[in-house]
Amino acid sequence: MAAIQDTSVPYALTRLGVVMSPEPGNVNEVEGVLNPASGYNSDGELYLLPRLVASGNVSRVGLARVRIEDGLPVGVDREGVVLAPDQGWEKSHEHAGVEDPRTTWVPRLGTHLMTYVAYGPLGPRLALAVSKDLRSWRRLGPVHFGYQPDLNTDLNLFPNKDAVFFPTPVPGPDGRPSYAMLHRPMWDLSWVRPGAGVHLPAGLDDERPGIWVSFVPAAEVEADIRALVRMGGHRLVALPQHQWESLKIGAGPPPVQVEEGWLLLHHGVDGSLDPGFMLQQGATYAAGAMLLDGEDVTRVLARSDSPLLQPETSDERTGTVPNVVFPTAIEEIDGSRYVFYGMADARIGVARLERVRS
């Protein structure tokens, strides 16, 4: 199938097919495998960390070695569960879940950073875990957003998703090298307290969920990795702009350093959304990209005015949530980059990412 490209962001995605589907008889996967994290272990093998969904919408994080044939990812070999909703803040009266992991390998720390959504008593909140080998994960706990007077609100009040770290320190708001985390707060508190309504931070007049970034000085993290859960310097990066992302946007895989700065794949949502966190049936999720300034990651240099990948195949159009392409991981194999993405909240697909030369 021909690649879809956008000349404003000189990259294209070409879908290759399904790499992981629910395993028959596996009780952890009866409601789908989707939205994986990824990473290379010290053995040189590539792994996915898929979200595994059991009956009752209970999510765990699994580990699966990627099978590669002729330089292409073609399937996986499962190696069990590495994170389950064992903590009280990962469980609610509705269901429990450690959802949608994103992992970033940080060479300077010699550590994989995992952001994930803990579905607890107040809905989806962000949490962090760290690992040296992708198998054993140590929770650092829920993310705490430091109070920032100019926003005139407390970011800790709001549900949040789609968090991912940059792989190297970037300049923070004060110019100091900082570890930066992209995330996606949601301002409608009615999702967790009926009737509470929308509460926007100061200076924001668009309630649609968009991409934000928060920072922690690199020196603090390198002195004590637990500092990663104490974020500050919160800044807006991007809001929905084009029709294909008219309802909301969120970060995808970890940003990739390219010649222009940072390449960020993201998802955009169009159509209609039902209230709350129920499985959406009337929306379309597609994948696009934006380029962020290497010296100021809050500055968007270019972005897709049309999707690089949108639901077209039966696996992308039919599933637990129809019409979903949701990129969450990116890895290099034999000099080429591949993007792993959720397909209709049921399976995992892969696409090749290529730069387009004009």
What is the rounded average pLDDT of the residues 304-315? Answer: 96
Q: Could you tell me which of 313, 311, 267 has the C-alpha nearest to residue 288?
A: 267
Looking only at the bridges linking them, the beta strands covering 230-238 and 144-145 are parallel
**Share above pLDDT 90 across residues of the chain, in percent, rounded to a whole number:** 89
Quick one: pLDDT band at residue 93, thresholds 50, 70, 90?
confident
For position 2, what pLDDT does the model report? 41
Q: Shortest CA distance to 115 belongs to which of 229, 198, 13?
A: 229
For the cut 90, the answer to whether the pLDDT of residue 143 exceeds it is yes
| Alpha-carbon 260 to chain mean position | 22
Statement: residue 80 has pLDDT above 70:
yes
Which pLDDT score, from 0 to 100, does residue 191 have?
Answer: 80
Supply the mean pLDDT for the chain: 94
Domain count for the chain: 1
CATH of the domain at 200: 2.115.10.20
HEC letters along 228-275: HHEEEEEEEEECCCCHHHCCEEEECCCCEEECCEEEEEEEEEEECCCC
Structure tokens given for 273: 């959304």
Among residues 345, 163, 333, 346, which one has the least CA distance to residue 264? 163
What range does the domain containing 296 cover? 4-355
Give me 117's structure tokens: 């959504």
What pLDDT, in 10s, does the model give residues 94-118? 788 999 999 999 999 999 999 999 9
Residue 196 has pLDDT above 50, yes or no: yes
User: What's residue 213's pLDDT?
Assistant: 98
Residue 5 has pLDDT above 70, yes or no: no
Query: What's the confidence (pLDDT) of residue 11?
Result: 95
Residue 41 has pLDDT above 50, yes or no: yes
pLDDT for position 193: 84
Whether the Cβ atoms of residue 333 and residue 71 lie closer than 8 Å to each other: yes
pLDDT tens digits for range 214-239: 999 999 999 999 999 999 999 999 99
- Residue 35 φ/ψ region, left for φ over 0, alpha for ψ in the -120 to 50 degree band, beta for the rest: left
pLDDT confidence of residue 86: 95
